[in-house]
Structure 1
Amino acid sequence: MSVTNVLAEREAMNDWIEYDNYVFGDGEEEFEEMSDGEWLRYNRELHGLSLRDMQTLFAIDRSSLSKYENDKKEPTPWHKMIFADFLAGTFDEKIEDYVREKHQSKGSGYAL
């Protein structure tokens, strides 16, 4: 999924995601609650990032990231701060640049 597609999808999702409770729906349908780890994984995948990408971007070990996403380990206070900024979109520009460079280095002809 291209960065442009991810951004468009994220923009559309802003209308029906209630961040405070990690609850999904439009207010009329049945809601599905997500754990913190599921929410982290969902957003990582929404950005088109692998665990290796997250490790590169945020200097957090892949095995720790996996444990956080599977709710097998509580993130450290520092990692919680990083994830809060990640979920708030603070790093979106950095992530877009990273994904763009990653695709260009693979010779996929990816360009914005």
Structure 2
Amino acid sequence: MNRAWKFATTMLVSGGLALAGLAFGSGAAHAGGPYQWCPGDEPGGYGGGFNTPADARPNWDWNVCHSYHYVNAGQGNVSSTVWEGDNPPPPYPWQPPNMCWSLFLPRPCGPADLGQ
């Protein structure tokens, strides 16, 4: 009985920590702009973001400057993950605010997530 009690306690504490991680995050989940790309800049975009995922390269005029945001996959207007212009779409409704995802687990975003 003692072993089962320890296991149940461990599972309860782990679940509580996981929920706390969902509720208390800081950083930027929908971080991604606004950025500026102009001819002569890195063709991969800010932090190489145009290269990941493979279909993220924007379909725009590469001879003029553009202001853009990185958005969730499928929400872009010039590629799957790039929104050109102002007012990008909001994050997915199920996505906790100000969180980045790693291996299906939310965590606070850091400078590396923002390409800095």
Pick 1 or 2: higher relative contact order, CA cutoff 8 A, min separation 6.
2
Higher-Rg structure is 2
Q: Normalised by the shorter chain, which TM-score bucket?
A: under 0.3
Per residue, is there more strand in 1 or in 2?
A: 2
TM-score by length of 2: 0.23
